[in-house]
Amino acid sequence: MKMYSIILLIFLSFNVRSEEAPIKKSDNKWALRGGLTLAYATLNAEAATADHIPSYGINTQFSYLFKKVEINLNAYILLGHASGLQYHIDNINLFAEGDFRSFFFTPMIKYITDLELKKNWRLYLTLGAGWGIRSMKVLNFIDQGKEKNNHRINVSSRGLIGGLGFQEISPIHSMGPLFVEILGAYFEAYQLTLVENLNFNQVSKRAREDKHFHAFDGLLMINFGLTFL
Amino acid sequence: MTKIIILYCCFLFYSVIAHGLEETEYRYTYIERQHSKQEVATHLGSIYLTSWALYPLIMPHAFKEQGSWSNYRNNFAKIVFDQDQPFWNWLVHPLAGSQLFLFYRANGYRKENSLAMAFISSALFELTVEIYSEPASIQDLYQTPVLGSLIGLGIENLSLYLLNNSNNIFAHILGHAINPSTLFWFYDGKIIVTPQINPQDKNKSAALFLTGEF
């Protein structure tokens, strides 16, 4: 009986293997893309101050495809260094200089044409609206007779973004089809916020004002990356 | 005679299986499966309740200083660009998103479904939990699931590489540390299921042994 049990035990023992669910037709509809971004922009501020700066960062794209039209939720993070920018908020003149960081959120529509640059690389046109925030250090300033430091100016902006690109057409996204695109953007600032960095993870809002000026006169971006999902 | 033939067949089968087992390496992986609506609701609900429990612990300052039910009402359905430090927007939230993604992956969701579930969980947190202290933020709503899932994919591959391709104990620890969902009961990517009958038991009781390796 013991022998039976042992044999039965061995016979029935099994291990669970890696198993992927079969690919469905809808697999190619959703896409998650990501990659790198190179940008060049004329960064505008108040008092007719501006700086022409290159910047770099990352892009992410979350999309759904309807035949040839794709709905995209995109985001771009850009880093760079700028100087000579002037802002005025709460009766304080501020001079921004140093590293800046930007975040843009852009819902976009993409139309994928049948035109192929090379085999399986299709041309697409894309257009959308964008909202963004740019954060930059400001130099020490005097406020109510006291010198203040460790502040940042945050510029909220909105605008239009569009361009064209090429993307690799692949039967399944796990093959990591590539894309490259060139986008141009026009953004107008609508709000300034002065914040104080309390420490590495906390900020305190010092002042906020609604303003209207060109945030970017022509932001040119080159995005490239691949499809992860 | 029949018993002998059966025994012989079993022995042959065992020999083949045993030979295969000697060369079999159990590997950490993800077993994808379909989920019932009840399972989906349970997973979303457990993450939602966990987020309510963890929020005051992770952000005690925001919870105590800025949090109130009055703020909750004011912040409800309001979405803004937050002014937070990169520490939160580009580190904590995407990392939290990556662990959400990996939690759902460990529960057998396909990659795109894990992204969708992370999206829902993150949105529930932003729109119904975090508003206790501050309005929901566009950066967090987007970056947590999207950038988080991208990071999660990278962590998934790295942790599986560390767990499968190295005999170094530190590599194993690191593999689990960056992907802690592999340590929990719901992760069924590495498991051996062994049926057994107790020969001593007169009733021939049977059992299933679920063996996990850490």
Is the pLDDT higher at B63 or at A179? A179
* Neighbour-count burial of B56, counting CB atoms closer than 10 A to its CB (0-12 exposed, 13-18 middle, 19+ buried): middle
Is residue A163 in a domain? yes
Is residue A90 in a domain? yes
State how many domains chain A has.
Answer: 1
Give the mean pLDDT of B93-118.
94
Q: Beta strand pairing status for A141-143 and A146-148?
A: antiparallel
Is residue A4 in a domain? no
Pair of tokens at residue A163:
């361009």
- Distance CA(B47)–CA(B52), nearest Å, equals 9
Is residue A80 in a domain? yes
Question: Quick one: which of A113, A141, A135 has its CA closest to A191?
Answer: A135
- How far out from the chain centre does Cα B105 lie? 5
Residue B194: per-residue pLDDT: 60
Average pLDDT, chain B: 83
For B114, name the nearest residue in chain A, comparing CA atoms only. Answer: A229
Residue A19: per-residue pLDDT: 43
For A100, name the nearest residue in chain B, comparing CA atoms only. Answer: B86
Query: For the domain that residue A210 is a member of, what is the CATH number?
Result: 2.40.160.20
Which residues 38-97 of B have a C-beta within 8 angstroms of A?
Answer: 61, 81, 83-90
- Distance CA(B46)–CA(B35), nearest Å, equals 15
Q: Beta strand pairing status for B79-80 and B136-137?
A: parallel
Residue B144: per-residue pLDDT: 95
- Distance CA(A78)–CA(A157), nearest Å, equals 14
CB pair distance less than 8 Å for A10 and B14: yes
Residue ranges in chain A modelled with pLDDT below 70: 1-28, 200, 216-218
- Domain that residue A205 falls in: 28-227
Indicate the pLDDT class of residue B5, thresholds 50, 70 and 90.
Answer: low
For B82, name the nearest residue in chain A, comparing CA atoms only. Answer: A133
Contacting residues for B82 by C-beta, under 8 A, at least 6 apart: B88, B89, B134, B135, B137, B138, B139, B140
Residue B164: per-residue pLDDT: 86
Is the pLDDT at B45 greater than 80? The verdict is: yes
**What is the residue extent of each domain of chain B?**
37-183
Q: What is the tens place of the pLDDT at every residue in B142-179?
A: 999 999 999 999 999 999 999 888 778 899 899 999 99
CA angle A43, A49, A50 (to 5 degrees): 25
CB pair distance less than 8 Å for B32 and A21: yes
Closest by Cβ to A229, choosing from B85, B115, B142? B115
Tell me, what's the ipTM?
A: 0.79
Phi, psi of B43 (to 5 degrees): -65, -45
- How far out from the chain centre does Cα A60 lie? 6
Is residue A2 in a domain? no
Which residues 122-161 of A have a C-beta within 8 angstroms of B?
Answer: 131-133, 135, 154, 156
CB pair distance less than 8 Å for A15 and B192: yes
Is residue A16 in a domain? no
Kindly state the greatest CA–CA separation across chain A: 95
Is the pLDDT higher at B181 or at A202? B181
